[in-house]
A = this chain, B = another copy of it.
Amino acid sequence: MRRSREEAAETRRRIVGAASKLFRGRGIGAVSVADVMGELGMTVGGFYRHFDSKEALVAEAIDVASAESLARTRALASSGRPAMDRITDLLNFYLSTGHKDNPAFGCPVPALASEVAHEGLATKEAFTLAIERLIELAGCVLPDDSAKAREQRLRMAASMVGALVLARATSNPALADELLSAVRHGLIESARASDGSEQRKATSPASRRPRPRKRPGKKP
C-alpha cells in the first residue's frame, strides 16, 4: 500500500532514528535490519525502498547520532557562562555513570569506535565526521586555535572516549567509576591550568578566533 511522500520521508527518518539507538546500544553487528524495522512495527522488505544496504544505514545512523549528540552537548558547553562551569557541566555529563550505562542515548563515538575500525569506507567516513564533531565540542570549552590548543582538544577527545570505552568494557563497576572520575578530574584540572594562563596573557598574537558568544542553551 503506497504511502504519501511525507509519510515515506517520515518512515525514513524513523528508520534512521531507531537504527541510531539500536546500533549505539547493542553494536552494529548485533543489530539486524529486521531488528530495526521491527522497532517501527514494520517488515524487512520495505527497508530497501529507503536504503541500498545495511552499510548505508549504518553510515547515516552514525551521522545523525553524532549530530544530535553534539547539539545536545553543545547546549551544556556553550551557554555564556564562565569557561570552568561549562567544562565541568560537559564532563559531568559525558563522563557520568548515566552516560556509561545508556549508550543507546549517548555519544556514538565511544559506543562504536572499535567496531567501526573494521567497517567499510562509508562507515569510517561518517565516523570521522563524528570524531571531528567531538573535537569541535572540546573546542567549545577549550577555545583558542593555536597549535597547542588543537593538541589539547585532541587529547581531551581521546581521554573522554578512552574513559567511556574502558568503563563500559569492564565487569568491575568500581574500576569503571575510577576511570570516569580520574579523567574528569584530570581534564578539569588541566582546563583550569590553561584557563588561568589564558586570562593572564592580555595580548593575542595575531591569530586567534574569538571565544564563542553567549547563546540560549536550548535542548534538541
Interface set of A (CB-CB < 8 Å, partner B): 26-27, 29-30, 103, 109-118, 121, 124-125, 127-128, 131-132, 147-148, 150-152, 154-155, 157-163, 165-166, 168-172, 175, 178-179, 181-183, 185-186, 189, 193, 197, 209, 211-212, 217, 219
* Min CB–CB distance A15 → chain B (angstroms): 22
Which of the listed residues A118, A148, A185, A189 has the most CB atoms from chain B within 10 Å of its own CB?
A118
Residue from B131, B175, B181, B185 within 8 A of A132 (CB atoms) = B175
B165 touches A113 (CB 8 A): yes
Taking A131-B175, A183-B158 as contacts, is the C-beta distance between A169 and B117 under 8 angstroms? yes
B158 touches A162 (CB 8 A): yes
* Min CB–CB distance A124 → chain B (angstroms): 4
In the bound complex, CA of A110 to CA of B128 (Å)? 17
For the complex with contacts A114-B168, A114-B169, 14 further pairs of A-B residues with Cβ separation under 8 Å are: A27-B29, A111-B114, A114-B114, A117-B168, A124-B170, A147-B217, A147-B219, A154-B178, A154-B179, A155-B182, A155-B186, A161-B162, A162-B162, A193-B212
A165 touches B114 (CB 8 A): yes
Residue from B114, B152, B170, B181 within 8 A of A112 (CB atoms) = B114
In the bound complex, CA of A130 to CA of B42 (Å)? 42
Taking A151-B185, A217-B147 as contacts, is the C-beta distance between A131 and B166 under 8 angstroms? yes
* Chain B residues, CB < 8 A from A175: 128, 131-132
B162 touches A165 (CB 8 A): yes
* Chain B residues, CB < 8 A from A148: 217
* Min CB–CB distance A158 → chain B (angstroms): 4
Give the nearest-CB partner of A27 in chain B.
B118
* Min CB–CB distance A109 → chain B (angstroms): 7
B169 touches A127 (CB 8 A): yes
Those 4 A-B pairs whose CB atoms lie nearest each other, nearest first: A162-B162, A158-B162, A154-B182, A124-B171
